[in-house]
Every structure is written in structure tokens, then in C-alpha cells.
Structure 1
Amino acid sequence: MSRLYIYDHCPFCIRTLLVAHYRQVADLEQIVLLNDDEDSCQQLIGKKMVPIFEHQGIAISESMDIAKLLDELGEGAKALRPLQLNEAIQPLLQPIQLHCQALSYPRVIHMGLRTFATESARAYYQRNKEAILGMSFAEALAGTAEHQAKVEQVLADLPPLSLPSEQGNTLSWNDVMNFPPLQYLTLVKGLAFPERLKQWLHEVSELGGVELYFDREI
């Protein structure tokens, strides 16, 4: 049996889960690590990093390398559609990355995810992410209105993404790349998503077997 080690909130891990579920990879055990579990990662790949895929006695990292291997191992009838440059939204999201992080980082530890099941895991995450943000979680939450306005402006201006329902209920490599950062934002209470983008999120979520957080938003 192969093993996929993840954090259940991690956008890079979500890429691999989308492919594994959609392509129906058999005999795959998913192992959710606590955020402060450094030892498991160190033993597998010599550094703290997820996702990690252990297959035939070899452990590999880097989410897209894992995703491509899972695609090859998959037994599902529907292939992933090729990447289309006009639907690559990562460059458009990059300028608001800090605003997205300020919205999501302080909230995700309160959602009951398995990665944050212990106080030490939550504290570890908060300490490291506050260093990245350059502010406390309390300060980030206090600035929610500003961060939310910046993010909503970019979401409203994103190019239309192909709906899986318009493509024979299939996913594409664009969906694999685009879904994780947007899925992460669905935990922010009151954040406005354009209707077509919201529909795209729901369709990708269903086909890829990865939940959205609209019903648990904070």
C-alpha cells in the first residue's frame, strides 16, 4: 500500500488529494500529520515538508511531482484535461497573497481540522505563521475588512474558469492548480465569491472529493 502524508489544511496537499480522488488511485492510505510533527517528515525525507508520498519503498516530496505520479497510478476512466495558460490564475493571486494569508492563517486553527488537534500543534503553527505575516493573528483579524476588500476585488476580476460540467464532468490540471488557494479562502465568513466562481468551486470539490469550508466559515 502507498501512503500520502498530508496536513489537511495545506493547499499543496490539496493538489495531490484532488488528483488521487479524481483518478481513483487504489490502495492509498492518507495519513494526516499534526502540524508540529517534525520527526515523521525528517524520517521520510530529511526535512519538514508535506505532502510526502511513500510508494514502493521510496518517499518523494514536491506536490506536483506527487500529483503527476498519482495521475499515472490512477485507474479512473476520465483523464485530467491539459493545462491552458489562459486559465492560470496564480499570477493574478500573487499580489494579494499576504491578504489571503492574513485572512486564512488565524482562522484555520479553529476549524477542528486534524492537523490542529492538539494545543501544541496550534501554537507551533501560529508562531511560524505570525513570523511570515509580520503581525500577530490578533492584528491580522483586526484588519479583516481591509484584507477582505483587497481579495474580493481580485476575485471579481478573475477570468471565467471552465466549469467541469461544461467539459463532460472532467477536471483539468488548471483545476488542480487553481482550486487549493481558493478553497482555503472559503473558510472566511462573509467573503464574497462571484457566482460562477462559486459554482466552479462546488463542481471541482465534488469531482475531486475535497471539501469546501462554507459551512464552517469563521
Structure 2
Amino acid sequence: MKLYIYDHCPFCVKARMGLALKKLPFELEILMEGDAETPTRMVGKKIAPILQKDDGSYMPESMDIVHYADQLKAPRLLDGSTDEAIEAWVKSVWRITIRLAVPRFVEGDFPELATTEAREAFRAREIRAFGDLDALIEQSPEWIADINHQLQALEALLAAHKGLNLADFSLFPVLRSLTIVEGVKFGPLAQAYAEHFSAKTGVALLDPA
């Protein structure tokens, strides 16, 4: 199998988690930003991640890929259960997380941004989605203070979190995205959690940018 991704993309992290935690062999393929032709040829639109199955067919949508991987061999990792408190936490921080991460993703050292053309295409796409990226950077101190407060609250949720469930496919991608933001401070349980899933999945945490 081959998984087409953007390295920075939190939705792609979900798909990588699913394949890696099942210990399935797969090849990672980086889609370049600005390349709309490749994903459109595969699934009809510019999107990532995309899984090319062993039969040559293509599957988009991160959690569809996770569930597909989970049914390929026993035992199943997921039984449909989730941790509602952690899902609610992720939902509460998502808007700020993405606004902190996006302008730093644009400047980050990612393979999908290896050319000037790719980086500028990505910058233009994110400006269309989020507006002035410099303005987002200027608002960062307030948002970082908010995220750090929320991360303190996450510690109690992680202390009560038992076993792998669907919430982990929401939480780890968000925490990984936050590792690119200088000044964000994980508590000890959040740090251990992020490092654990990074090691288990081969999805490296990010350096502050």
C-alpha cells in the first residue's frame, strides 16, 4: 500500500497512525503543495491523505483509511468507543490550534514545501482560508496563553484516559501540530502521550518555528 500525504497535515497524521499502529507495511509518498493534478487523478479532487490499496484503487478521508486498516487483520484496535471528554477538549482547542499552527506550517521545513513554487502555492491557499498570516502571528501570545491553560486541564483527562480509542486519533494530531509553536507548554502527561504516539507511529514531533 502507498499513503499519499502532506507531512504537516494533522488529518494525514490520523491515517499514518492507523496504518502504523496496525503494523501494516506501507510506503509514504509526499504530495507537493500546488500539485492538484495528482490527487484529482486519483480521487477527483485535491485532498490528502489518499491511500492506494494493494489492488491499485484509491481511498481518501483519514478516518475511512483508519477503519479500513483496522479491518485488514486481527485483532481490531478499535471497537467504536471514544473518550468523550478528550474529544470535547480537542473540539474546544481546534480553532486556536489551527490558527497558531498554519502560519508556522507555511514557514516550516516540510518536504511538500521543498520548492519555492510549492511554498508559495501553500501560502496562497492558507491566506485564502485564514486571511493575513502575519496578523495570526501577532495574535499568537494571547492564543498561546489560552492553549497553555487548556493543556493544564488536559492533564486530568489524560490521567483518566485508558486504552486506545477513537479519541486518540483526534488528540495526537492536535498535540503534534502544537509542537511547532514556540511557547506552548505541555504538562508531563501530555508530553509523555505525544512522545509515546510519535514513537509508536513514526510520526515525528515538530520543532518550534
Across the two proteins, how many residue pairs are aligned to each other?
207
Distance in 1 (CA, whole Å) between partners of 2:157 and 2:106 is: 31
Counterpart of 1:54 in structure 2 is 52
Query: For 1:173, what is the secondary structure of its paired residue?
Result: coil
In 2, the alpha carbon distance for the partners of 1:163 and 1:7 equals: 32
Aligned residue type for 1:92: W
Identity of aligned residues (%): 28
Output one character per residue of 1:1-26: Cα deviation in whole Å (capped at 9) or x when no partner: x2211111111110111121121112
How far residue 81 of structure 1 moved from its aligned partner, in angstroms, is 4.9
TM-score w.r.t. the length of structure 2 is: 0.88
Identify if the C-alpha distance between structure 1 residues 187 and 151 changes in structure 2 by more than 3 Å, giving closer, same or farther. Answer: same
Change (3 A) 1:126 1:88: farther
* TM superposition shift of 1:87: 4.8
CA RMSD of aligned residues (A): 2.3
CA distance in 2, matches of 1:68, 1:106: 31
**Corresponding residue of 1:34:** 32
Deviation at 1:161, TM superposition (A): 2.2
Summarize the Cα distance change of 1:139–1:112 in structure 2 as closer, same or farther, 3 Å threshold: same
What does residue 142 of structure 1 align with? 138
1:196 and 2:189 aligned? yes
* 1:177 positional shift: 2.5
Q: CA deviation at 1:92?
A: 2.5
Cα distance in 1 for partners of 2:84, 2:170 equals 10
Provide the secondary structure at the position in 2 that maps to 1:109.
Answer: helix
Q: How high is the TM-score relative to the length of structure 1?
A: 0.85
> What residue is the counterpart of 1:180 in the other structure?
173
Q: How far 1:119 moved relative to its partner?
A: 1.4
* AA aligned opposite 1:137: L
Distance 2:85 2:35 in 1: 33
Deviations 1:159-194 (A, max 9, x none): 422699x75xxx443322321111111111121112
Q: For 1:66 and 1:81, locate their aligned partners in 2 and report how far apart those are by CA, in whole Å.
A: 13
Q: Which runs of 5+ in 2 are unaligned?
A: none
Q: Is the 8 A contact 2:87 2:167 kept in 1?
A: no
1:9 is the counterpart of 2:8: yes
